[in-house]
Structure 1
């Protein structure tokens, strides 16, 4: 099966009142874990690659691994660029077969953000590639993108309407209290703000920095209109902790397969749990 546009998956999720999980990949085992979990849950899925993952693994490996993975399962799979920060990065991913790209212009003033998104859309839309934008700054660190607490700010609902009306973007990432990376405490989401955004905007809403957000809060966000939920840190935690335990249990082990197999299994279970929370099981 070839990649499907994220737009198609999110429109169905919006109608069905569930969210599609967007899971970040960094290596072969995590790619395998994402599609294995999705197939087991009979759920559509979005594989995401950040600029950091592309720099680490190489665009050819990311594109090649994920294409093979998508063909190995029966469920719909999309390949998405997470937090692309430049027009050139988006074009690179489109040339290599990504079915969706995110152009994150949230650091720019509203007018510049809109102009950047429209520039990417001008190329992506005729090719059937979905485009995600972001409004508001989500705190924390995502690979080489870092936003301090003092620089983070929530999405303004009125600006969100202007942004979506002027761009026609396929998905909108909003800042309502989540953060990238590991949380120091329990995040408190601004559900009133989310309600106001959804009231003004018909564009599918994306929740970034969702690792560590309590399941009940994620479910409530989905019930209010979130259609795409991003998960990265939880997968890394499960993968690395399981690999570390395998080494600790057998410190003389030199076969990487015996270290990475339990790590992959742990990632599969984490992803399956998230898919169930998002309500997309059986929606493929």
Structure 2
């Protein structure tokens, strides 16, 4: 079916007190697995390409983007494309023509005032091209946020990072972002599902903000915590490392059982199937607003 937009999927999910699952993809196998898993669960999905993934692909956005667009157009469920953790203005400018309807602009490494100014400028550029834009905000322990090297804030999704509701309200109003990723206890690149979320803080953030809330670093969050976060106001759930764990595990298992294998189609198929199963399971946990099947 035709590409849909991230903004539409997130707005629909937020209105239903549900969430849309958004998966970071690196290879064609990731793309195919995410679409297959979403089709199995009968729910819409967002394909996310990060700036790091573009860097891995020799700095070229279009090869993976065009593959994602083609997969989305042949999917049996609605699929949107999102450009994730963008710092490059050049990459931001390329997004609309490459099929992306949304961008997560990442200036969270900067002190608050600089983050706000950079994000406000990015929002103006993005909105002028019809892009829906997400940003993130968080400080260590909700304090001044100058605990990092050279007076920089630490990663908003480092252990202990939290988003202050009053600061978040001012940031959204001052920047004009369409959604905000909040720091409530998850962390990027976790390989164990042991994160405990601050649901009381999430309730305060949900009450303070009038834009959809996003959870980054969701691979490390247990199912029960994810479901509670969605019930508490999270409308977009970002997942990346969980796919890589599944891909690697599927390939390792295949090669262990077939030590003489050399045809990559065989072990990549095993990895793709493992990723698709992970996608389907997580989409069901998150809720998948707008299901196309019962």
SS where residue 254 of structure 2 aligns?
helix
Deviation at 1:94, TM superposition (A): 3.1
Contact kept in structure 1, 2:138 and 2:157, CA below 8 Å: no
Aligned residue number for residue 196 of structure 1: 204
CA contact (8 A) 1:18 1:279 kept: yes
Residues in 1 aligned to 2:70 and 2:18: alpha-carbon distance in whole angstroms: 27
Q: Which runs of 4+ in 1 moved over 3 A?
A: 146-152
Q: 2:36 — aligned with what? A: 36
Aligned partner of 2:244 in structure 1 is: 236
Distance verdict in 2 for CA 1:150–1:102, change over 3 Å: closer
Counterpart of 1:267 (choices 261, 270, 275) is: 275
Does structure 2 retain, via aligned residues, the 8 Å contact 1:182–1:212?
A: yes
> What residue number does 2:171 align with?
163
Contact 1:172 1:205 in 2 (8 A): yes
**1:244 CA displacement:** 0.9
Q: TM-score, normalised by structure 1?
A: 0.91
In the alignment, structure 1 residue 70 sits paired with structure 2 residue 89: no
Matched residues, number: 277
Counterpart-to-counterpart distance in 2, 1:196 and 1:84: 28
Aligned match of 2:24: 24
Alpha-carbon distance in 2 for matches of 1:201, 1:120:
20
- Using the TM superposition, name which of 146-155 and 99-108 deviates more: 146-155
* Structure 1 residues not aligned, in runs of 5+: 139-145
1:167 deviation in Å?
2.1
SS at match of 1:189: coil
Alpha-carbon distance, 1:148 to partner: 9.7
Q: CA RMSD in A?
A: 2.1
Is the contact made by 2:133 and 2:178 (CA closer than 8 Å) also made in structure 1? yes
Offset at 1:282?
Answer: 5.3
1:149 offset after TM fit, Å? 8.6
SS in 1 for 2:219: coil
Matched, 1:221 2:223: no
For residue 185 of structure 1, report the CA deviation from its aligned partner: 7.3
Change (3 A) 1:174 1:150: closer
Corresponding position of 2:288: 280
Deviation at 1:77, TM superposition (A): 1.1
Unaligned runs of 5+ in 2: 141-153
The whole-number CA distance in structure 1 between the counterparts of 2:167 and 2:91 is 26
Alignment check: 8 A CA contact 1:14 1:204 kept: yes
CA distance in 2, matches of 1:107, 1:63: 26
